[in-house]
Structure 1
Amino acid sequence: MFAIVRTGGKQYRVAAGDKIVVEKIDGEAGASVTLGDVLLAGEGSELRSVEGFTVAAEIIAQAKADKVIVFKKRRRHNYRRKNGHRQQHTILKIVSLGGEQSKSSAGNAPAAQA
């Protein structure tokens, strides 16, 4: 079974046991998170309804991406600026697909992802 989930403004195709790298999600290593923004779910060529469908994941680590160097220069104006940036991300392990989400906690799920 697979699902397409949206978190951090990006979409990921996940299955049980997969490891994915997503934008930073608050939480310590070993904590459980629920991804409630499921766009598509199915098995093989059959698709399922995603109403109340959730994806359970476990945080493996909080990490940083490789450094990106930003260099700006304007010719003949003695203008040079060098800056670096390391994006923070979270490594998730997908535990299970298809957990039912109650109506009362449906409003709280996007806050847990941010």
Structure 2
Amino acid sequence: MFAIVRTGGKQYRVAAGDKIVVDRMDGEAGARITLGDVLFTSTGESGLTVAAEIVAQAKADKVIVFKKKRRHNYRRRNGHRQQHTILQIVSVGAAEEKKAAPKKAAKPKAEKADAAPVEASAE
């Protein structure tokens, strides 16, 4: 069974036992997380989640950004290392736990005054 999940603005095809590299997510190595934004499953069921375990928080290879304007003595060299999280997919298809909506407490109704409205006198 596989699923298509969305995280970090990207979509991933995952199955139990897969390792995927996603944009940085909060959590320490060994922590369990659930990916609730499941777009599609191979069985066609809806309302499922994907359970994953964080393997590591890492950085990607360095990307060199080099800017140059010829004949203007303008050269800029910069580097960037994107942070990412490595996830191990534990299970696909766990039922999503829906929290019950909190019940609203009934507001006490204001007592209506039986007296006639007071007229303002102009003096």
Tell whether the structures are fold-level matches, with TM greater than 0.5: yes
Over the matched positions of the two proteins, sequence identity in percent amounts to 76
Q: Deviations over 1:35-77 (max 9, x none)?
A: 00001001xxxx3222x20000000000000000000000111
Greater per-residue strand proportion: 1
Equivalents in 1 of 2:84, 2:62: separation in Å?
13
2:74 pairs with one of 55, 79, 103? 79
1:89 corresponding residue in structure 2: 84
Equivalents in 1 of 2:49, 2:64: separation in Å?
38
Relative contact order, CA 8 A, sep 6+: which one is greater?
1
2:58 pairs with one of 60, 63, 67? 63
Structure 2, unpaired ranges of 5+: 101-123
Dislocated runs of 4+, deviation >4 Å:
none
1:48 corresponding residue in structure 2: 44
Letter in 2 for 1:6: R
Equivalents in 2 of 1:13, 1:102: separation in Å?
22
Q: For residues 32-47 of structure 1, what are the structure 2 equivalents within 5 Å? A: 32-42=32-42, 47=43
Q: For residues 95-110 of structure 1, what are the structure 2 equivalents within 5 Å? A: 95-104=90-99
RMSD: 1.2
1:111 corresponding residue in structure 2: none
How many residues matched?
Answer: 100
Greater per-residue helix proportion: 1
- What SS does the aligned partner of 1:84 have? strand
